[in-house]
Chain A
Amino acid sequence: MATTTLEPRASTYRRSWVLEWLTTVDHKKIGILYIANSFLFFFAAGILALLIRSELAIPGIQFLDQATYNQAFTMHGTIMLFLFIIPALSGFGNYIVPLQLGAPDMAFPRINALSFWLLPLGGLLIFSGYLFGGAAAEGWTGYAPLTNRAEGVGTDLWIVGLMLVGTASILGAVNFIATIFKMRAPGMTLFRMPIFVWTVLVTAVLILLATPVLAAGLIALFIDRNYGGSFFDPSVGGNPILWQHIFWFFGHPEVYIVILPAMGVVSEILPVFSRKPLFGYRAFVFATIAIGLLSFSVWAHHMFTTGSVLLPFFSFMTALIAIPTGIKMFNWLATLWRGKLILATPMLFALGFLSMFLIGGISGVMLASPPIDFHVQDTYFVVAHLHYVFFGGSVFGVFAAMYYWFPKMFGRKLNEPLGKIHFWIHFIGFNLAFFPMHQLGLDGMPRRISDYSADAGWTLLNMLSTVGAFMIAVSIIPFLINVVATFINGEPAGDDPWEGNTLEWATSSPPPAYNFDRLPPIHSERPLFYLTHGHGHSAERPDDLERDAEDDPERRDGLA
C-alpha cells in the first residue's frame, strides 16, 4: 500500500492555538482558513438569497422595500462569486495542489497568507455598507452610469472591497503559477500533473490576465465617483459602454475562473470512483487550455443588446467554446463507461455536477445566438443559466471536493448517510429553485425586479422557485450536522480512504507540516494507482520504475 507511517513528530515550540492560526504560513492551514471563511460568506449570501426569494414568492411588496431588495441582490451576487465560490476553490487549490505535486508548501508561503487575509477584510468592507446608510445596490456588474451616480458610501466600500479581493486573487494566482512550475517533485512532469492542478494552473493564468483589468476599471470608477473623473458618465463626456467592456473583459474569464477548478475536482473524483483513469487525459488538458484562451474573446456576448458590439464575431467565438467543453463532457462520460462506479457522496456530487452543468452549458449555447439573446437577455432565463453554471457546476464541485478531501484534511470521513441526505435534498431543491426560472425568463420576467404584477402569470413558478431555495437551505443542515458530528466522533479515515490515484493520498491524514516523509515514484498522472496495483497497467517497464526510485535519493527523501 501507499500508506506512509509517520513517526511521532518532534513537537515544535508551543504557541497558542489562536496565534498559530492567525500567523500560519502553512498552505494546509491557509487552505482550511480559505474554506472556512468562504463558507461563512456562503451562509451570509445564502440568507440574502432567501430574502430575495421570499420577497418574490408572491406578487406585491411584502417585507423588503425596493432599496433593501436592490442591496440584497447586489450583495448576494458579489459575495457568492467573489467571497464564496472563488475563494472556496482557491482554498482547495491551496490545500491540495502542493500535495498533488509532491511539494512541501506553496512557493511563497507568506504571500499566501497575505492573499488569504485580504479576503475577509475585503468582504467585510463590502458588507460594511450596511452600517453606513446602505450597501451597494447597482447589481454585481455595477453598470455605469448608474454606479457613477449612486449616492451613499456603500458603493465606494463595494469598490474598495472588490479591489482588495482582486488583489488577493492576483497574489494567489502568482503563487499558484510559481508553485506549479517550480515546486513539482522529481518525476512530476507537466503531463503527469493531476487534472485538478492543470485546471488551477489555467485558472491562475486567467486570474493574472483578467483581474488587473477589473482593478483598473474599479479605480477609474472610484475616480469618477469621488474625484470628478469622466471615464464612464456620459453627462460629463464619459462612455458607459467602456465600463461594460472593461467589466466583461474580466467578467467572462471570471466565469471560467469559477468553473475550471470545479471541473478539475470532478475530473479527480470520477476516475477514483469509477476505478478507471480519466479518459483522454491529454485531450482534457488541451481542452482546458483552449477554454482559457477562448474565454478572452467572448466577453461582449454579455452586451449583445447594447447595439455596440460586433455580433457575428462574439457569437461565433462564444459558440466555439462549446467544442472544448463538449470534449470534456465526452471525456467524463467515457470515464464512467465500463467503469465500476462507487456511488459515495463525493461521486454523487460529481455526477450532480455533470448533469447540472450540462444544462447550464446548453442554455449557454442558446444564449450565444444573438436573436435568442435579444429575447432572454436580462431575464430570469439568464439567472437560471448562470445558476446552473455557478451553482449546478461550481458549488456542486465545491461540495464534491469537500466530501472527497475532508478525510485528508481532518483525518476523519464525513458520514455517508448524512452526506447522501444532503445531496438529494440539495439536488432536488436546486432544480426546483432554478429550473422554473428558465420558463420565467422565456415568459419575459426581467431579472433584478423587486416585484411583478399578479396578472403577469409568473406567480406559480416564482413560488416553486422559492420553495426550492428553502430546500437548498434545509439541505445545508445535514451537512453542518455532518461536519460537527465528524469532528466530534467521525470514522477515522486512514491515509487513503478512497483508494486515490494522486500524491495527496500518499501521506498521512492530515499530512505533517512538511507534507511528505517520502514520495512514491512518479511515472504517470496516477502514481498511487501504479503503486497499489503494480505496473501491469503501466506503459513503462516495471524494472525501469524500480531502478528510478532506487537511484534517486532526492525522491527517496522527499522534498522536506
Chain B
Amino acid sequence: MQRMVANPRLRKILRGSASMLLMGLLAGCLLPPEPKTVVGRDVFNLYIVVLILAGIVFVAVEGFILYAIVRYRRKPDDETLPEQLHGNTKVEIIWTVIPTVIVFILFGFSMATLGKIEARSETPGVVIQVDGFQWNWIFRYEDGPVVEPSGNEPPVLAVPVGEPVRLVLNAIDVNHAFYVPQFLIKRDLIDLGNNGHDNELEFTITEAGTYAGQCAEFCGLRHADMKFVVDAMERPAYDEYIAALASGETPPPTGGGECTTTVEIKANNTQFDIGEFEVPAETDFCIAFENQEAIPHNVAIYDGGEAIFTGEFVNEPGTITYNVPALSAGEFRFICDAHPQAMVGDVTVTE
C-alpha cells in the first residue's frame, strides 16, 4: 500500500533532482574555465565524462538515502523487528562489479588524455626557461631576451598562438608550480640538483589574449604574491614584441641595466671574503658575485627573518651579477641560503 503511494512521489523527487543537476551543469556549475589550449579541451572533455559519472553516482546514492529516510522510517509505536537480512552474495557481486566498471572507464579515458598532455612536438614554436624563485618569475627565451620582474606588476610571459610552447621549469630555490587555470594544467618546479632534470610543459594556445597565472605550490611567506601573466599573441605581433624586448625597448626589463653601485663579493671555503658592505638608500645596485669553489652558493639579503632579495645560486666556480632593487635606509644581513650559519655579513644602507 504505502509503497505504491511513496514510490511515484519519490520518483518525481529523484527525477527532479536529476534534472536540476543537469541544469546546474548547463549553467556552468562545477565546471572548470573554458580551456584555451588544445589539450586543455581534451582535459575539459574528460572532466565532463567524469562529472556525468559522478553526477549519476551522487544522485543515485543520495537519492536512495533520502528515499530510505522517508520510506523506512519507523512508526512511533512499531516495536516489531524488520526482516533480519544478513547479506546476499548475488547482489554483493553485482555491486562489486559496478564500481569496478566505473573505475576502468575512468582509467581508460584518463590514460588516453594523459597521452595527449605528455606528447612533445619535434619543433616547438618557442622554448622558454621559466625560473621560479621566492617570490617571482624570470622567463628566459631560448636565444632571446630575458624577462625579469620589475616593480609590483606580475612579469609577462609572451608566447605565440597556435604553436607548441615548451616551458622548461627551473626552480631556483624551493618548490613552486606553474599554473594557468585557463590552460587546465599545472606542473611543479623542483630543484632536483643532480638527482634529475627539470620538468617540461608543452601546450598550444588556441586564442590570443592574456591569461592570469600564479604559483600553486606553497613556497613560503609571499606565496600569494607570486603571479604572472601569459600574453598570447599572433606570430607577427609576437616577433615584434620579442624584438622590442631584446633591444631593451618596451617593456623595459630591469636586468642588464647600468649599475651606479656595484659590490663585489667572493665565496670560497664556505666563507664570504667580506663581512660587511655599505650601499646608498633608495637606489638599485648590483652585486658582482664570484663563487670560487664547486659548492653551491648565493647571496640573499634579509631584513630580520624575511628575505628581501634572493640571488640565484651559482653551483660551480663562476660569476653572476645580481640586480638588487632599492632598499630603504637601515641594517640588513646578507647570507648564503645554503650556508646561513657560516656565510653571513652585514649590509648598511645609508641615506
Contacts and interface: CB of A to CB of B under 8 A. Distances in A.
A351 B190 contact: no
Interface string B216-249: 1111111111000000000000000000000000
A145 B172 CA distance: 11
Given A315-B107, A371-B117, A307 B199 contact: yes
Nearest to A242: B195
B191 interface: yes
B99 A279 contact: no
B99 A326 contact: yes
Given A326-B98, A327-B96, A369-B50, A235 B337 contact: yes
Interface stretch (B66-74, B255-263, B279-287): B66-74
Contact of B117 (A150, A374, A377): A374
A277 B84 contact: yes
B209 interface: no
Interface string B149-174: 00000000000000000000000011
B313 A372 contact: no
A463 to B, nearest CB: 17
Contacts of A281: 86-87
Contacts of A342: 74
Interface string B185-226: 111101111111001000000000000101111111111110
Contacts of B173: 145, 149
A451 interface: yes
Contacts of B179: 378, 444, 446
A236 B338 contact: yes
A62 interface: no
A341 B30 contact: no
Contact of A240 (B33, B111, B192, B215): B192
Interface stretch (A160-168, A435-443, A507-515): A435-443
A305 B187 contact: yes
A371 B103 contact: no
Interface in A342-376: 342-343, 351, 354-355, 358-359, 362-363, 365-366, 368-372, 374-376
Contacts of A326: 95-96, 98-99
B83 interface: yes
A120 interface: no
Interface residues of A, number: 94
B103 A322 contact: yes
Contact of B193 (A139, A143, A237, A365): A237
Contact of B174 (A145, A341, A343, A439): A145
A379 interface: yes
B33 A368 contact: no
A375 B57 contact: no
A377 B68 contact: no
A319 B65 CA distance: 24
A420 interface: no
Contacts of A363: 54
B178 to A, nearest CB: 10
Contacts of B111: 312, 315
Interface residues of B, number: 91
A240 B191 contact: yes
Given A235-B337, A236-B296, A276-B82, A374 B184 contact: yes
Interface string B300-331: 00000110000001000000000000000000
A234 B78 contact: no
A190 interface: no
Interface string B10-50: 00000000000000000001111100000000110011001
Contacts of A280: 86-88, 92
A149 B214 contact: no
A372 B50 contact: yes
A306 interface: yes
Contacts of A323: 96, 99-100, 103
Interface string B99-135: 1101100110111011001000000000000000000
B32 A442 contact: yes
A419 B298 CA distance: 60
B58 A138 contact: no
Contacts of A370: 110, 114
B69 A149 contact: no
The 6 residue pairs across chains A and B that have the minimum distance between CB atoms: A444-B181, A326-B99, A234-B193, A449-B224, A340-B74, A307-B199
Given A326-B99, A340-B82, 19 more contacts: A145-B173, A236-B296, A279-B85, A305-B187, A323-B100, A333-B65, A338-B82, A342-B74, A355-B65, A358-B57, A358-B62, A365-B103, A366-B51, A374-B43, A378-B216, A379-B216, A442-B30, A443-B181, A446-B215
17 contacts: A66-B224, A143-B217, A145-B191, A150-B220, A236-B338, A279-B88, A315-B111, A337-B72, A339-B82, A340-B73, A365-B106, A369-B113, A370-B114, A375-B181, A376-B32, A378-B216, A446-B179
